[in-house]
Amino acid sequence: MSGVDWEPLRARARELSGRAYAPYSRFPVGAAALVDDGRVVAGCNVENAGYGVALCAECGLVSELVAGGGGRLVAVTCCNAIGERLMPCGRCRQLLWEHGGPGLLVDTPLGVLPMSEVLPQAFGAADIDHITRGAAGVAGREDS
């Protein structure tokens, strides 16, 4: 879809799922993404005894993106230990939206979908800008 060669991304995600640190859930996950400059970034889940502070594979992927100089994600895939495609969790959908936007292609278990369908009516930076700019005007008014 849209000129993306999905097989190398899926292979990289499978490779990274084998490097996951998942001693608690025993559910390794790998993720890989294509960046708008042609790079591939990837990550795996890293668990912690304090379950709530575990890092999803997509967190590692975005960390590599930012550490490598940034850019915009174009296509992303996630998989489990046996290579089955996974849908990113809600937190990761938001994270991916921030770094890929509505046109980011997501390789879901039901096929490739744009992020705008994976995370409809997403909350983003524009929502914050809208309020903070408006709040500055409201804060400067005097009540009559």
Q: Annotated catalytic sites, by residue?
A: 58
Residue 17 CA to residue 80 CA, distance in Å, equals: 6
Q: Taking Cα atoms as reference points, which of 5, 21, 66, 20 lies closest to residue 41?
A: 66
CB contact at 8 A, 76 and 96: yes
- Token pair 């992020």 is found at 115
Label the pairing between strands 105-108 and 73-79: parallel
